[in-house]
Homo-oligomer: A and B are copies of this chain.
Amino acid sequence: MEKAMMDDERGKQLEVRTDLALEARESFPGDGGEIAGVELREWDEKQNGVKVTEVVIKNQRGAEAMGKPVGTYLTLEAPRLSEKDEDFHKEVVEELAGQIQKLMMKRGILGRSARKVCSEDETKIATRKSRPADFRPVSALVVGLGNMDATPDSLGPRVLENLQVTRHLSLEYGVEFCERNGYPVLSGITPGVMAQTGMETAEIVKGVIKETRPDMVLVVDALAARSAKRLGVTIQLSDTGIHPGSGVGNHRNSLTEESLGIPVFALGVPTVIGAAAVVHDTVGALVEVLKREHGTGEYGEYISEMAPEEQYELIREILEPEFGPMYVTPHDIDERVKLLSYTISEAIHEALFDS
Contact = CB atoms under 8 A, between A and B. Distances in A.
A319 interface: yes
A245 to B, nearest CB: 13
Contact of A299 (B203, B287, B323): B287
Interface in A215-241: 227-229
Given A302-B290, A331-B325, A198 B206 contact: no
Contacts of A189: 191-192, 197, 199, 204
Interface stretch (A54-62, A65-73, A161-169): A161-169
A307 interface: no
Interface of A: 5, 8-9, 147, 149-151, 160-161, 165-169, 171, 185-192, 194-200, 203-204, 206-212, 227-229, 252, 275, 278-279, 281-283, 285-287, 289-290, 294-303, 314-315, 318-319, 322-331, 333-335, 338
Contacts of A278: 275, 278-279, 319, 323, 326, 328
Nearest to A295: B298
A306 to B, nearest CB: 10
Contacts of A207: 204, 206-212
Given A165-B198, A206-B211, A282-B279, A8 B299 contact: no
Given A171-B252, A289-B314, 4 more contacts: A150-B333, A199-B208, A210-B211, A327-B328
Which 3 A-B pairs give the minimum distances between C-beta atoms? A297-B298, A207-B207, A165-B198
The winner among A203, A295, A300 for most chain B CB atoms within 10 A is: A203
Residue of A191, A194, A278 with most partner-chain B CB within 10 A: A278
Output the residue of A210, A290, A295, A334 with the most chain B CB within 10 A: A334
Contact of A198 (B186, B209, B290, B325): B186
A331 B194 CA distance: 14
Nearest to A300: B299
A168 B200 CA distance: 7
Given A187-B197, A207-B208, A329 B331 contact: no
A168 B151 contact: no
Contact of A331 (B9, B209, B287, B330): B9
Nearest to A296: B298
